Structure 1
Amino acid sequence: MPTYPEFDAIIKDCDKNCIVKFLKTIFPGETRKGKVVGKFGGAEQKTRIDGLNILGSVTLETSDGRSKPIICCAKQMDGVLSERSSRRKQFDDSVTVLKEVFVKPYVGNGSVEGAFTQGLFFFFDDKGNFRLSLVTSEIVNGKQELNNYRRQSFFVEAGARNNTFRTRICKKIAAYEDLKSAFDVEKLSDDFFREYKVFYEDIVQYVTGARYIEVKKNKYERTEMSAPNSAIFDQFTKAYGDDAEKAVRNYVKKLMGRLVFIQFLQKKGWLGIPMGTDGWKGGDKDFLQHLFDHVSPEEQNSFVDKVLEEVLFYSFNRKESERKLKNSTLKKFKFPFLNCGLFDKDRDDDFDFALPGAVFHNKKFYDTERKAPDIKSWIKKRKPYFNDEVCGLFDFFDRFNFTIDENDPTDADVSVDPEMLGKIFENLLEDNKDKGAFYTPKEIVGYMCNESLIAYLESECPSLCHPERSASEVEGSRIRSLVVDLNADSFTEKEKETLDQKLSEVKICDPAIGSGAFPMGLLNLLYKTRLKLGVVQKNSKNPEATLKREIIQQNIYGVDIEKGAVDIAQLRFWLSLVVDEVEPDALPNLEYKIMQGNSLLESYEGIDLSSLAGEKKDRSRGKASDQMSLVFDEKQAMEQIQRDLNSFYKTDDYNVKEHLKKDINLNVKNYIKHIAPEKSKAIDALPLPNDKFFLWHTYFRDVFDRKGKCGFDIVIGNPPYLLCQPSNTDEKLLDYYRTHFEVASYKVDLFHLFFEGGVDLLRKNGILSFITPNTYLTNKYIKPLRQFILENCDVLRLVLHDKVFESAQVDNATIVLKSGKEKQHRVVIEKCENFKFKNFDLLEQSQWENDADFVFNVQKEFSIETQLKLGDIASVTFGLQTADKKTYVKESPMGAGWEACYTGRDISRYYLPNPSLYFLNEPLKVKAGGSWNMKIHHASKIVTRQIGAPEPIFALDEIGVATLNTMYSILVENKSYSEKFILGLCCSNLIKFWWLSKFSDNKALFPKIKGFQLKEIPIPKTSPIQQQSIIALVDFIIAAKKKDPTADTSKQEAEIDKLVYELYGLTDEEIAIVEGTSATTSAAKPNKSSASSQTTSISADWLQGEDL
């Protein structure tokens, strides 16, 4: 990549002159991609923000030829600019300028084509530090106003390497997509993770000799690449046996996580400060890299054992007076005491783990090739691993900027932030899909955190809410404005004190915490909201430094079955505290706040352990009932456990912590043995905590002992999605689930159980918010879960998403529930597309409660009335299934007995081409399921695909060809009805609309059609004469499609729609709703004109436009 003096100049010493030269350099004018029109260097224009002046503008073209004018502004700040100083105000000022130039366009140096909906903003100081932000927005409905402001920034620090800025923005920008890509935080994160994973795989391969190779997308196979390193691997084999490889992978994950933590910690400048220096300023922000360079070659080749472990276990985790360092280099520096569980030694840390020095730093590569290598060629070079041609781990870290402040969706630095720790963990969890674990996008996390906290405050402070909610009132409440917009102006001082008190008391839990995304989101939300209310500032001289610590200690709880997840979640909370500290302070103990355990089990070998706390919440939701009669000694033991837990939270003495942990575990075990003495030996050998069960009512007793609030205020998360089967779940555990959970039906999915368990953890009027697969909304086999929710909760919000998780083949829904029941309740129904949430209506929950199967139909109702259903006049059968499709279904006949057949992909609307497949018609040999009745297969019939679009797609098979089990056959048996007439009905807009309102499972991926649903299609009672007009139109359409499958028959189909409306007796208002042309959102009145014995629901709401 070519270098330019303008790039070096702005990095070394930023001022307005450098900025203008820099802009002229990156926007070069005429390019091969099109014209870049830059206008810089004229007189500055002032804006309404003092000192933030317009330097010029540039117009870039998008790939589709649209013009994107970009305003370019700069402001010199008072004082020294840091990564965090004045961030919010700079964002607000940028937005103010964008609004100003949008309404009153900047026209200096000539006219500008297009609207200024984006801008580049420089904020700099006189020391050479600056922030460069791209701020973008969107035009609202074509009107002269903007919304959805988003900022992406580079912070450039004088004297630092600033490699991310150099590699991503210091280059020629020829199109708008180039600029967006340069500021793309997700792309940076993807680049970082992709290369990080290669290092992880290299180290694992070096130890075990094995590597997981991607054989197809998201499918990996273990491959032996070389002999294992016996000096290291034998230690793991001796300790773990057959699980040795997994233990190595877990160790390497934690080792690399610790190294990444140090990269973040270095940003504070607390490392590399010489002993005897006062204060904690002026440290080395590349300390670890420089430390490696300064130790001996022998220590470099045993860096983990001889250097890194002393830093981790005897520096960060010991007070200065307790440190006994052996390494002579480390003795020269002081280290912050962090009191952090991440730096407690595990059993694996006692193993010798001597990696070659080239793993960490490759001087030859680093000196000759500073830029990022091509990842594909780089990976090829890395076989077998670690040589002079590839960079080391520290060299890799050196190419990226790290920010200790977590990004949010609307304001992000183009740097690696602590959320990356979560992404690393959850993407390196090789069996994450086996365990149903998926990483939740931050936009979804932010939404769920907002809605949970709003629901909690509205429940706790009803006087501040609307008693009867209209759609506008729901979205315009004062509490919503406080939480979402951080606007507290409408509250009195007394109301602010009430709100702050409620926020200080809230108890929040994620029972499947993963890497901590949801509790981290609520931590930041609570922090910002309470600061905005201003109450904490009255009671504390330095609330910013103490408030986060208070929230973590008083409000946040979490559990996960994976120890690695717990480690990462704790780590993110510690980093969230470090970011606000001016000088290092001992971090709080989180080992009994964020814990390992099986959230679904509070029992061991059939023993109910919830009784350890003396009280357990029963199924009446929020009430407590005595589980056992406690004698004095038992009560005393339980109180001692609680005293030890309280002491553990407060101490920062390493030896005291270790002593308290032993006492807590011993007392818990003794208590279990008292209940089940026959299990004493097994209990003595049982590690605590573990992945077998979790003692909710023991470890989190402070939550369940609250007067009048027995349980959590908010339970939030993304529980695992896993269909439990003998292949992945112990049979005894499956039996336990079926006997102890109301929602467990013949199919047991973990997320169903988490719904029940989550509600059980709530106090009365507590809030639950989960994102899960949406299958439970309509699937008839998941009726017990829907019934459980409706009988025990009010549904506050239901959000239907398009694809959320790249690696999960499911469609998702977010639900917000409140435990307990109100007499009348309305549900907010929303849709989320591309992570943008769209509120569209309120729905009576009673509509679901009154349904025989408790189906969560998200449509409003109006009804048409018919005397018949399709099942009354026709048979509906599934296609045939062969034993081995690869053997018995082919694209051409293989000999005698082979017969043509249709499969689902053959079907187009109305039209069937020639069959595309052949099957062996020998039922005794190949039959595996479905219908093999050849009288049906060889008859003239209507056919439809099993996978909808999302509604069924119908066509006519007039010649009688067999169908595979990807299709249904509809054989009209009542001779009063023509199959072409029925085909016209089934293909009409009205039946499509009816279908989506009644049976849509809200799946974008593979929406399945069921036979019983087809039988429900309403059929009007008509004479043969009344059918003739539709039959004629169907004949025309089929003939046209046979001649040309792409023929436009929309005119004839519209005529059929009109005739169908008449047959069903729809009013003009009802037709407008079906056609999506009415603005009304009220339910239309039922048509009473025809005699009826059955009523069918039809949506009157959001299925419009493309949805139809």
Structure 2
Amino acid sequence: MQLMNDTSHKTQIQAALSGFTAGPLADNARHLLRVLGYESDRTLTINPNTAQGFLARFNTHGQLNPEKALLDEWDTFELLFQLTEDELNILIPRRSRGTAPRAPLTTDATTPPIYHSYLFLAVKLRGNAYSRNALANITREVNKRFAMPAMLLFQHGQTLTFAIIHRRTNQHQGERDVLEKVSLIKDIDIVNPHRAHIEILSDLSLSELHRAHSITDFFALHQAWQKTLDSTELNKRFFRELANWYFWAVDNVTFPNDAGDDVAVRNATSVIRLITRLIFVWFLKEKDLIPDALFDEAAIAKLLHCRRVLPVSMPPADSTYYKAILQNLFFATLNQEMNTPEQSNRRQFREEGQPHDTALYLYKRYFREPDAALRLFESIPFLNGGLFDCLDKPDTAQPQRSRQVDGFSDRDDNPLRVPNELFFADEHTADLNAVYGTKNRRYTVRGIIHILNRYKFTIAENTPIEEEVALDPELLGRVFENLLAAYNPETGTTARKQTGSFYTPREIVNYMVDASLHAYLKDALRLNIYEGGGSADSKLAHLLAYTDEPHQFTPAETEQLITAIDSLNILDPACGSGAFPMGILQKLVFLLGKLDPGNAQWRQRQLDRVHSTIAAAEQIDDSTFRESTLQELEREIASINEAFERNELDYGRKLYLIENCIYGVDIQPIATQIAKLRVFISLIVAQRLDDTQPNRGVRPLPNLETKFVAANTLLGIEGQLSLRSPEISEKERQLEEVRRRHFTARTPRTKERYRQQDKHLRTEISALLAELGLPSGTAQELASWEPYNPNAVADFFDAEWMFGISEGFDIVIGNPPYVRADAPGQQALRQAIKDSAQYETLFGKWDLYIPFIERSYKLLKPGGFTTLIVSDAYCHAKYALKSQEWFRENSRICRLDFFRDIQIFDATVRNIIYLFQRADGSEHQPERRVHAPEFGSVNLLQTDAQQNLTHRLFFPEDTEIQPFAVPTVTLDTICYISVGMVVHANKQARGAFGVRDLVSDVRDETHPKPFVEGKHLARWLPATNKWLEWGTERAPALFTSKTFPELYEAAERLISADMAAGIQKLKVSYDDRHLRHNQSAWSFTLWHDLAGVRNRAIKQKARYRDEKPQRPELPQRETLEETSRRFSVKFLLGVMNSTVARDFLMANRRSNIHIYPDDWKKLPIPDVSSERQAPVVALVDAILSAKRADFEADVSALEAALEREVAALYGILDG
């Protein structure tokens, strides 16, 4: 098969698309597929070629659902052709395969699902636009009728959509397939196709697939299609381009000083905000809410007064585009209500002499025709929601000036600079080597408008069953979590990276969401007396599964489930950019769609809630506030009816789930902003545009400031908010009502009024609490919390004060940060956590996720569920023991999912997912699952009643290696085990040198000490060594950690590399050369070789009888030294390199990533005489001699003999 020129091929694709403007569907579709390399004369004429013809020929068993298939919308149906092995042989010749007998076209749905063919079908629909869900439903219904996969090509109006379905064999009904995800290339414009669509179609051409994936059969073809249509690669490609642009931009912008004192942090934060707003706008453009002309350089260049470099471009160094177009779009358009015949001056330019107002258009002098600019903006609806609130505010200290953050000002002294080239520059090279830590690498950048134009965006988030081949709103989360966080001024790393967070993959989010909702809904059914036939578990699993099959619950149970969903309060305590809140929202919307397809019950529940609130409001003592509240509530009833009547079915589901059920907290304000943004997009996609209605039918977005808050989840308040008086209860009712009103407030003036009322009520309540005994500092802290400041972070989190939730949450779900005890910049937080006295599970050098686990549990109401994904160090780490014990005794451990062999995140960490319930678990049997070799492939581990289980419950191994049947002593009673030196500059030297500055390949006067790192160590002997600077002004005096010199002066000792937990052959080396080493290796020194050495390090592990202060719980040095004299170093080397030692460490290690010194300490050593040690010592001597003579010497026979000797000493018999 000959590969054609790439440009020529894309031109042919574009020409084939334009052919759909006229002529028969079948001819046009076959021609396009022929251009893509797919053709066959194995076809079938459907007569008539309509929905009725399709039904007559293929729906013989009546399985197709005509409503889901939208049969009434079908204009034409064509079976284009069947592609079989025969055609594949011709289109992609294979040397090693003969030609099979030619078979007729087969479409029998009873044919076993062994795929040796594909069907290509085409459907012309009568309408112009269809949702992704509608097209996916048609694809599923049609595929039900065929034994082989059928690819559908839809024509609707002036656009095409390709739909490909993924199928797998039904494990329970082998003759039927399970229809899984539908992938769509949607809305391809046949007249003016997006370049991204042309590129996707080119990538799907048979020639390109064969070049990239070596197609040999239909299985390979199907896999190649799946990979090509996987949006993951699309996201990665986009991220790489955007990352380069980001690092280029932060060095070429200037923002006002009020945006932050540190220039790097100020620029990073401001550029993040710019990207956030601009990408959000790009999604709005997909909804046809914003005209393309605003991003057309030629059109804008003609609109503005500027020195045009070319007729179609603007001066690269000027900032006219950002100021005149984007800032006016953000602040004076999307954040300002549209003009109406009654109020035609809402959107207008600020005139000379008018006071500064960020709700008015600025930079009038930049425009050739200001009225033309107004016409360009006039059709854009008002969105609200806070994302486009200008952050420039009056300075309370100096009323005559404003605090400039966004820099939306047409004053001449405005320092704002965001050059036009950042938006419209053509591709060129930029030196980003310093950013990426590379040398002489070539990086390319281009204007961000050009980047965005290169990709197709979809406003609907992809789901496990529907995926459009385009960038969906989830990419905002991925971009943020991986890159776009403000620089940490101390480390130069991104803040999110510094706080140890990782973006949680969608399939993990879905898995955890399903598990928690299953448990919650099962409890709701049980509490309401489940009476249905069949098990609740199986029915709930069926309900939660992304299928189009009807649910299996009775009407009474259905009502119970809808009530449970409406009553649900769910929190993500470290929400980041909203992966879990969005996952929960999507799944709850899906469940409501199954349980209540027409929204009758869901709508009524929202109306009932308002009626209940009206009844409560009638009890408010303040007559003025009572009457205004009742009026607002009456309007709310009309608003609810409008929400359901004028929008897609999902809109009412989403809006009231967001208002009443879903909450998020994160310590980074920009994270909560992006989480809110994703919620906004999900609401916009479910709205119907109607240009005959005010604001084009777009319901302004809710205000989510009291749904997603920036706060420190780990620190609660001091004292009890449970202190109550009638006056406090009255004020709290008023505060709840004010926040409910603010949620739907539309105009900046109305929002500000409710914010001031909120502040006033907070101050009054905190003062009343102080009168009742709440500490004054706590009362002041409560009053000063400012939820409406997008840059503020609360130093505490209190669910009642911030969300009005006093009884706790039903579900707490998330992915907390993984931050080590020694991570930079964490000491103040760790100390505050300890000082808070709110935690019972902190122990040793705990990782930050330890308090997150406890805090998440304590935020639950009784019976609530918490599920977090954390590092699997929780299974083995010493610091986790107290936490494990506490939860065994105080919770119900519902499920543990182990991922020891699966890498979920890009980082090296492995993970565990737990599901705990705030309930008694003593007689409950936890479910323990290991996922291997891939996520979702589950093996169940042994379990027992929780009260009978030990800490081994948290180990992913089935069984623990039991104590050996021979006397043993642990290695730490024979050897002092220590990590090596930290060989880089200490704090006083401020990074003046590192290990590379201190080592040499040759020995000289400056570098007299032999030195190794873990990478230099091998099994038995070091592979090589370097020479370490010593005795100079800086070495070792200025090392971060020198360790003590006697550690390296023993005549012989052992050194182990820092090894991966899954290593097959342990690497312990013999040292008789006094080798120094750094922290990448561990030393094992016989206790008696350190006799008389007294220092702080050793005193933490053992003490002599005469040492003060006495520590009775520590071992006595005299005993340890006496024990160590009984053992030969070479005997220990033989044991430590054995498979017995390896197996013990594998089963008992603290982490699935590394083998740590604490793991070695527990290794049992056979307590045998020197005579019984002698055979092992002799074999080790022989191995060492062979290795010294020839490091590559084959010592496998000696090692085999050694293994037998060691096994015998442990009492392990062959077989």
TM-score, structure 2 as length reference? 0.69
CA distance in 2, matches of 1:942, 1:466: 64
8 Å contact kept, 2:499–2:817: yes
SS of equivalent to 1:342: coil
Q: 1:344 aligns with which of 355, 370, 389?
A: 389
State the 1:537 CA deviation: 4.3
Give 2:836's aligned amino acid. Answer: T
Alignment of 1:292-371 (within 5 A): 292=300, 295-297=303-305, 302-317=320-335, 318=337, 320-321=339-340, 323-326=346-349, 327-329=370-372, 331-332=374-375, 333-347=378-392, 348-349=405-406, 351-352=408-409, 358-359=420-421, 362=424
Distance across 1 between alignment mates of 2:822 and 2:166: 48
Give, in whole Å, the separation in 1 of the partners of 2:662 and 2:1145: 44
1:402 aligns with 2:450: no
Superposed displacement of residue 548, structure 1: 1.6
CA deviation vs aligned residue, 1:328-369 (integer Å, no higher than 9, x gap): 23543333333322232322345337667834765xx7xxx8
Q: Deviations over 1:587-644 (max 9, x none)?
A: 23322212222223343xxx54x61xxx3xxxxxxxxxxxx2x344333222221121
1:997 to 1133, 1141, 1147: 1147
1:1106 corresponding residue in structure 2: none
Offset from partner CA, 1:644-686 (integer Å, 9 cap, x none):
1122234445432221111102221333345559779998877
Q: Distance in 1 between matches of 2:979 and 2:796?
A: 48
Q: How does 1:1029-1048 map to 2 (within 5 A)?
A: none
CA contact (8 A) 1:877 1:931 kept: no
Q: 78, 84, 87: which one pairs with 2:125?
A: 78
1:985–1:3 distance in 2 versus 1, CA, 3 Å: same
Q: How does 1:856-1005 map to 2 (within 5 A)?
A: 856=955, 858-861=957-960, 863-865=962-964, 866-871=966-971, 874-878=974-978, 881=981, 885-886=995-996, 889-895=999-1005, 898-900=1008-1010, 903-909=1013-1019, 911-912=1020-1021, 915-919=1024-1028, 926=1036, 929-930=1042-1043, 932-933=1045-1046, 937-939=1050-1052, 943-950=1055-1062, 953-955=1066-1068, 957=1070, 962=1075, 964-965=1077-1078, 966-969=1081-1084, 983-1003=1133-1153
Show the 5 A alignment for 1:227-242: 233=255, 236-237=256-257, 239-240=258-259, 242=261
Q: 1:208-253 deviations in whole A, cap 9, x for unaligned?
A: 3xxxxxxxxxxxxxxxxxxxxxxxx4xx22x356245534433332
Match of 1:153? 184
* Residue 129 of structure 1: aligned partner: 159
2:545 corresponds to: 484
Output aligned runs, 1:660-679, within 5 Å.
660-675=754-769
Q: Provide the aligned length of Structure 1 versus Structure 2.
A: 949
Which residue matches 2:499? 435
- AA aligned opposite 2:371: S
Q: 1:1016-1057 CA distances to partner (integer Å, 9 max, x unpaired)?
A: 323456678877887787677667766776677667766766
Structure 2 CA distance for aligned equivalents of residues 496 and 752 of structure 1: 38
Q: Deviations over 1:136-194 (max 9, x none)?
A: 567899x9998895554321234443211113432651335385664342232233233
Distance in 2 separating the partners of 1:1041 and 1:920: 28
Are 1:761 and 2:859 an aligned pair? yes
User: What's the counterpart of residue 276 of structure 2?
Assistant: 257
Give, as a single letter, the amino acid of the residue that structure 2 aligns with 1:762.
Answer: L
Higher Cα Rg, which structure: 2
Structure 1 equivalent of residue 1159 of structure 2: 1013
| 2:571 pairs with 1:509 | yes
Residues of 2 paired with 1:157 and 1:290: CA distance? 22
Residue type matched to 1:82 in 2? Y
List aligned pairs for 1:367-406, cutoff 5 A. Answer: 373=427, 392-406=447-461
SS of 1:417's equivalent? coil
- Cα shift readout 1:396-431 (whole Å, capped 9, x = no counterpart): 322221100112356422212111222333321032
Q: Which amino acid aligns with 1:292?
A: I
1:533 aligns with 2:595: yes
Q: Which residue of 1 is the match for residue 474 of structure 2?
A: 419
Residue 482 of structure 1 aligns with an amino acid whose one-letter code is L
Letter in 2 for 1:892: V
Question: Retained in 2: the 8 A contact 1:876–1:970?
Answer: yes
CA distance in 2: counterparts of 1:901 and 1:377, whole angstroms: 37
Counterpart in the other structure of 1:205: 251
Cα distance in 1, alignment partners of residues 662 and 296 from structure 2: 32
Taking the aligned partners of 2:876 and 2:93, their CA distance within structure 1 comes to 42
C-alpha displacement of 1:842: 3.5
Q: Which of the numbers 716, 736, 739 marks the counterpart of 2:836?
A: 739
SS of corresponding position for 1:71:
strand
Give the Cα separation in 2 of the matches to 1:797 and 1:738: 31
CA distance in 2, matches of 1:1052, 1:24: 66
* Counterpart among 172, 175, 184 of residue 211 in structure 2: 175
Q: Return the offset for 1:490.
A: 3.9
2:711 corresponds to: 597
Deviation at 1:947, TM superposition (A): 2.8
Alignment of 1:517-556 (within 5 A): 517-534=579-596, 537-539=599-601, 543-556=649-662
Moved more, 1015-1024 or 336-345: 1015-1024
- Aligned counterparts of 2:518 and 2:797: Cα–Cα separation in 1: 29
Whether 1:717 aligns to 2:772 is no
| Structure 1 portions without partners, runs of 5+ | 28-37, 102-118, 209-232, 273-283, 381-388, 468-472, 616-627, 705-709, 1072-1108
Report what 2:400 is aligned to.
Answer: none
- C-alpha spacing 1:956/1:772, structure 2 compared with 1 (3 Å): closer
Unaligned runs of at least 5 residues, structure 2: 1-5, 47-56, 65-76, 99-114, 215-223, 308-313, 350-369, 393-404, 435-443, 488-494, 604-644, 690-697, 985-994, 1088-1122
Match of 1:566 among 669, 672, 680: 672
Out of 86, 92, 98, which is 2:140 matched to? 92
Mapped partners of 1:647, 1:346: distance in 2: 22
C-alpha distance in structure 2 between counterparts of 1:6 and 1:872, whole Å = 73
Q: Does the 8 Å CA contact 2:1023/2:1191 hold for their aligned counterparts?
A: no
Structure 1 match to 2:7: 2
User: What is residue 441 of structure 2 aligned with on the other side?
Assistant: none
Residue 824 (str. 1) matches residue 926 (str. 2): no
Once residues 937 and 418 of structure 2 are traced to their aligned partners in structure 1, the CA distance between those partners, rounded to angstroms, is 54
CA distance in 2, matches of 1:128, 1:737: 64
Contact 1:829/1:839, CA 8 A, preserved across alignment: no
Give 1:445's match in structure 2, choosing from 509, 512, 525. 509
CA distance in 2, matches of 1:994, 1:145: 47
Paired residue secondary structure (1:125): strand
1:719 partner amino acid? P
The residue type equivalent to 2:7 in the other structure is P
Shifted more, 310-319 versus 955-964: the winner is: 955-964
Deviation at 1:516, TM superposition (A): 0.8
Amino acid at match of 2:713: S
- Compared with structure 1, are the counterparts of its residues 169 and 802 closer, same or farther at alpha carbon in structure 2 (3 Å cutoff)? farther
C-alpha contact 2:969 2:1167 (8 A) present in aligned 1: no
CA distance in 1, matches of 2:1061, 2:182: 38
- What whole-Å deviation, never above 9, does each CA across 1:445-502 have from its counterpart, x for those lacking one? 22222222222223333489999xxxxx99x843223213445544333333322322
Root mean square deviation, CA, Å: 4.7
How far apart, in 1, do the equivalents of 2:1083 and 2:944 lie?
A: 34
Write 1 or 2 for the structure with the bigger share of strand: 1
User: Is residue 900–residue 956 contact of structure 2 (8 Å, CA) maintained in 1?
Assistant: no
Distance in 2 (CA, whole Å) between partners of 1:264 and 1:1052 is: 67
Residues 406 and 671 (structure 1), Cα distance of their counterparts in 2 relative to 1, 3 Å cut: same
- When residues 870 and 437 of structure 1 are mapped into structure 2, their CA distance, relative to the original with a 3 A threshold, is closer
1:162 aligns with 2:194: yes
Equivalent residue of 2:496, what SS?
coil
Equivalent pairs: percent with the same residue? 22
Change (3 A) 1:724 1:1047: closer
In 2 relative to 1, CA 25–1060 (structure 1 residues): closer, same or farther, beyond 3 Å? farther
1:16 Cα offset (Å): 3.9
